[in-house]
């Protein structure tokens, strides 16, 4: 299996790479830009004969001014970053644009960015598998808690529709995005389908469903659909009602419509940033619902207020969660994340009440490279 992925990465590398001959004969009129990954760098090229200043903005380093060459083709070589997924854009005479010649366009909230995978061990699970894909369902469910119809995405693993598995039941991971994201975030920027396809094909993770809802209570769905914001009443508003809707609306919808187990041993919840806060909240508000909890760069904090008084309600809920039992409470954060200190304070609070957790400290900050890696690390620990 290892060999298979190495070969796949090599193919990908070959697909991205462009040989010199091809470039020499390249009809720039037919393609606006071309990006080449070499052994020691990434070469960006953009056809812009009438532009005055052209920059490339790679996500892994500072913007670089490109140099105008023959036929008005601008070029810049940037040092090769470590294997991961990166994004980039061009700035042409002050105007920012994605790469019109790169089909791999990612949306992060309200911004589109061109995507680039640098192949290697860390990114081995981020490209598409050639076969044994799971499916992605964009489905609408009623949310009585919020009083609206809403959309969520469901990943079902390869084999789910096989006749041989017609009576097989699956566990479920509920996977929550951060502020500014929506139900599309984990499957696009987060590469959930690719990561799960690889992990399951490798036998590293149990086949499971992954449910990706929309964490902004007033949104019916991603803003790309242009739907009007929902008018949520004051009682319905706030994070509390969204996290309630996870257990009261979403879990029942999934358990009624998919072949899944309906007990805490087969339910996990995880989320990033705001979704990490949602994860902590929903798992303690509904003790006995989730056996696996993953707080990624979570919007969590001290269990005490500014005057140093313990938030007794939260503590009581955590104690109820403790009593109901769970198998894994995994807290992950990068050591340059702006929420790093808050996560340390949160764990201090958990320590004081003897609430068990597993701490996973990584390099880096509040970014998708960490969240993809956290999912890739967390999913193999579930349902075993």
Least Cβ distance, residue 124 to a second copy (angstroms): 15
Cβ proximity to a second copy: between 104 and 356 the closer is 104
> CA-CA distance, 225 to 85, in Å (whole number)?
26
Is residue 50 near a second copy by the rule CB under 8 A?
A: yes
Is residue 133 near a second copy by the rule CB under 8 A?
A: yes
Cβ proximity to a second copy: between 224 and 316 the closer is 224
- Decide if 128 contacts 100 (C-beta within 8 A): no
Is residue 351 near a second copy by the rule CB under 8 A?
A: no
Q: Is 101 left (phi over 0), alpha (psi -120 to 50) or beta?
A: alpha
Residue 309 makes CB contacts below 8 A (sequence gap 6+) with: none
Is residue 151 near a second copy by the rule CB under 8 A?
A: yes
Least Cβ distance, residue 316 to a second copy (angstroms): 37
Least Cβ distance, residue 350 to a second copy (angstroms): 39
| Stretch 280-309: interaction string toward a second copy, x if CB under 8 A | ------------------------------
Q: What are the two backbone dihedrals, phi and then psi, of residue 150, each rounded to the nearest 5 degrees? A: -135, 160
Is residue 231 near a second copy by the rule CB under 8 A?
A: no
The size of the chain, in residues, is: 384
- Extract the tokens encoding 264: 């805490």
At residue 172, the 3 state secondary structure works out as: strand
Cβ proximity to a second copy: between 32 and 377 the closer is 32
Is residue 111 near a second copy by the rule CB under 8 A?
A: yes
Least Cβ distance, residue 152 to a second copy (angstroms): 10
Burial class (CB in 10 A: 0-12, 13-18, 19+), 30: exposed
Least Cβ distance, residue 140 to a second copy (angstroms): 4
Q: Is 364 left (phi over 0), alpha (psi -120 to 50) or beta?
A: left
> CA-CA distance, 361 to 123, in Å (whole number)?
19
At residue 277, the 3 state secondary structure works out as: helix
- Decide if 269 contacts 285 (C-beta within 8 A): no
Cβ proximity to a second copy: between 3 and 384 the closer is 3
Residue from 163, 306, 323, 384 touching a second copy (CB under 8 A): that is: 163
- Residue 259: C-alpha distances to residues 34, 118, 152, 156, 165 (Å): 45, 37, 17, 10, 10
Least Cβ distance, residue 348 to a second copy (angstroms): 38
Which residues, listed in sequence order, are joined to residue 358 by a DSSP beta bridge? 330
User: Binding residues for a second copy, how many (CB under 8 A)?
Assistant: 57
Residue from 22, 93, 356, 361 touching a second copy (CB under 8 A): that is: 93
Cβ proximity to a second copy: between 178 and 294 the closer is 178
Is residue 137 near a second copy by the rule CB under 8 A?
A: yes
Residue from 65, 135, 263, 356 touching a second copy (CB under 8 A): that is: 135
Which span sits near a second copy by CB under 8 A: 103-111, 243-251, 260-268, 333-341?
Answer: 103-111
Is residue 384 near a second copy by the rule CB under 8 A?
A: no
Is residue 203 near a second copy by the rule CB under 8 A?
A: no
Is residue 320 near a second copy by the rule CB under 8 A?
A: no
Is residue 69 near a second copy by the rule CB under 8 A?
A: no
- CA dihedral (74, 78, 83, 84) positive or negative: negative
Centre a 10 Å sphere on the Cβ of residue 356 and count the other Cβ atoms it contains: 10
Cβ proximity to a second copy: between 166 and 305 the closer is 166
Is residue 220 near a second copy by the rule CB under 8 A?
A: yes
List of E strands, the chain = 33-37, 41-47, 54-58, 64-65, 67-68, 73-79, 84-92, 95-97, 105-108, 111-118, 135-143, 148-156, 172-176, 209-212, 267-272, 292-296, 328-334, 358-362
Is residue 139 near a second copy by the rule CB under 8 A?
A: yes
Binding site for a second copy (CB under 8 A): 11-12, 15, 32, 46-53, 72, 90, 92-98, 100, 103-105, 107, 110-112, 127-128, 130-140, 148-149, 151, 158, 161, 163, 220, 223-228, 256-257
């Amino acid at each position: 299996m290892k060999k298979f992925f190495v070969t796949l990465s090599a193919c990908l590398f070959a697909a991205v790479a462009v040989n010199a001959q091809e470039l020499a004969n390249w009809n720039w009129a037919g393609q606006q830009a071309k990006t080449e990954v070499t052994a020691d760098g990434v070469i960006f090229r953009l056809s812009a004969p009438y532009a005055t200043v052209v920059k490339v903005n790679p996500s892994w380093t500072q913007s670089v001014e490109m140099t105008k060459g023959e036929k008005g083709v601008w070029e810049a070589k940037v040092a090769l970053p470590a294997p991961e997924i990166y994004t980039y854009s061009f700035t042409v005479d002050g105007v920012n644009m994605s790469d019109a010649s790169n089909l791999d366009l990612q949306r992060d909230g309200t911004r589109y960015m061109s995507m680039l995978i640098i192949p290697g061990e860390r990114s081995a699970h981020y490209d598409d598998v050639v076969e044994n894909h799971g499916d992605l369902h964009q489905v609408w469910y009623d949310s009585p808690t919020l009083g609206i119809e809403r959309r969520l995405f469901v990943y079902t693993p390869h084999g789910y529709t096989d006749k041989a598995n017609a009576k097989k039941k699956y566990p479920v991971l509920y996977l929550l995005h951060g502020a500014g994201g929506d139900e599309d975030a984990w499957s696009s920027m987060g590469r959930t389908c690719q990561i799960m396809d690889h992990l399951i094909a490798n036998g590293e993770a149990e086949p499971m469903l992954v449910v990706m809802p929309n964490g902004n209570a007033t949104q019916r769905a991603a803003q790309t659909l242009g739907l009007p914001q929902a008018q949520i009443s004051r009682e319905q508003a706030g994070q509390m009602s969204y996290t309630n809707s996870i257990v009261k609306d979403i879990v029942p919808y999934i358990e009624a419509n998919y072949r899944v187990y309906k007990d805490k041993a087969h339910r996990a919840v995880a989320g990033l940033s705001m979704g990490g806060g949602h994860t902590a909240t929903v798992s303690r508000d509904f003790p006995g619902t989730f056996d696996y909890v993953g707080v990624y760069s979570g919007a969590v904090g001290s269990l005490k207020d500014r005057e140093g008084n313990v938030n007794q309600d939260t503590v009581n809920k955590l104690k109820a969660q403790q009593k109901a039992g769970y198998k894994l409470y995994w807290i992950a954060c990068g050591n340059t994340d702006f929420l790093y200190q808050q996560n340390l304070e949160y764990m201090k609070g958990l320590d004081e009440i003897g609430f068990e957790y597993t701490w996973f400290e990584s390099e880096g900050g509040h970014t998708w490279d960490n969240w993809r890696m956290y999912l890739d690390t967390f999913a193999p620990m579930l349902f075993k």
